[in-house]
Amino acid sequence: MKTPITRRTFVGGVAGAAGVAAFGGPSFAQLALPKEPVTLNIIDVAGNLALTQKAIENYRKAKPNLVSRITFTKAPAPELAGKIKAQQDAGRVDIDLVLTGTDALSAGIEQKLWVDLLGTHAAALPKLDDIYLPAAAKMQALAKGQGVVVTYYPSGPLLEYMPERVKTPPTTAEELLAWTKANPNRLIYARPANSGPGRTFIMGLPYILGDSNPQDPAKGWDKTWAYLKELGQNIEYYPSGTGAVMKELGEGSRDMTVSTTGWDINPRVLGVVPKEAKIGPLKGFHWVADAHYMCVPKGLSPEKQAVLLDLMSFLLTKEQQAYTYDEGYFYPGPAVKGVTLDMAPAESQAAIKEFGRPEYEKMIADNPIEVPLQPDQMVIAFRMWDEQVGGAKRK
């Protein structure tokens, strides 16, 4: 059985090697599909394979003339940019497709690692503005054309807690701080640079606290940084990923964490966190949306680029998007309009029926949905958090 604890865990090197031709400027029409099927090496730094691996394997089965084999690798997001940069500098890129959240997407944009997919090859892809949900289209804009949204969810931040141990859950930021002072080391969250809930929490606080500019961590987050530092005095340490957080919550060594819709539902489906866990927002809450992206490193052969563009288009069909409901890991999951739960596999429908929360529909309808920080600002926020908040207490 898969568990969220292993989704962001490094499980080995990437096999195989792609061609080393530079990614130039030809249009898709000039990118000839390969005459022989190729091997694709896909690396996931976001847990996205839980949502898309079945659909990706469906592509291999549907297009045996294009793809003979697909290897899947997982790695922590902070390690990815350096790995790809080293391969590009050596002229030997053996990662074909990256599945990433906004974290490694941002780092790759900053270091100019990614192909400008929309600037060069938009004609090879569906008209994204026409097919995406409105909030997913906003998330697409963050990618600067260098990634394509494959899954989307409103995310969080939410508080998740065990009701038998938290009799009066906090409903405001002030109450949360007071609770941690009265219950030291019972709240935990993971390093934002490698945690969806962690980064959603720090990006959501400026809205909750009424900071001057929620989109400017360096100049507009005075209240947020002060709050995070004070909160940190009551936090024992910050794990490197969300899986470890949920394990501690489930085992009872912590009573409360920050969460998202998917990280609430899926660990309970899998039995990592007890079904009885509860969630709640803080007063002034805005959703900070999240998405997973498909990115292509510069340095691949034109033939592989052509196959990858075809794969992306396949993954954006309604039939394949229905798989992204998974077991609630990125709830809801689909980025494309018109993909309903009744289109999903039976096991997805059953999991969400039992472990989903009816209140989510109203919460999504009634609260603003914001986009995350722009990529350059996200890099700044991660660095400031590492330097000012969690650097000495990371584990």
Structure token digits, residue 375: 């990529």
d(CA 325, CA 322) in angstroms, rounded, equals 6
As for how many domains the chain has, the answer is: 2
DSSP secondary-structure letter at 297? B
| pLDDT one digit per residue (tens) for the chain, 395 residues | 344 433 333 222 222 223 323 333 444 446 889 999 999 999 999 999 999 999 999 999 999 999 999 999 999 988 999 999 999 999 999 999 999 999 899 999 999 999 999 999 999 999 999 999 999 999 999 999 999 999 999 999 999 999 999 999 999 999 999 999 999 999 999 999 989 999 999 999 999 999 999 999 999 999 999 999 999 999 999 999 999 999 999 999 999 999 999 999 999 999 999 999 999 999 999 999 999 999 999 999 999 999 999 999 999 999 999 999 999 999 999 999 999 999 999 999 999 999 999 999 999 999 999 999 998 999 999 999 999 999 767 66
Same domain, 240 and 294: no
DSSP code string of 327-371: TSTTSSEE-BTT--GGGS-HHHHHHHHHHS-THHHHHHHHS-EE-
Residue 18 in domain: no
Domain that holds residue 388: 158-284+357-393
Say if residue 272 is in the same domain as residue 168. yes
Regarding whether 276 and 178 lie in a shared domain, the answer is: yes
- Map residue 381 onto helix, strand or coil: helix
Q: Is residue 52 part of a domain?
A: yes
Closest CA to 217 of 208, 229, 205: 205
pTM: 0.84
Under 8 Å between Cβ of 45 and 104: yes
Q: Quick check: is 307 in a domain?
A: yes
Say if residue 157 is preceded by a cis peptide, omega within 30 of 0: yes
Question: Does one domain contain both 266 and 298?
Answer: no
65 and 148 in a single domain? The answer is: yes
- Count CB neighbours of 392 within 10 A: 10
CATH code at position 232? 3.40.190.10
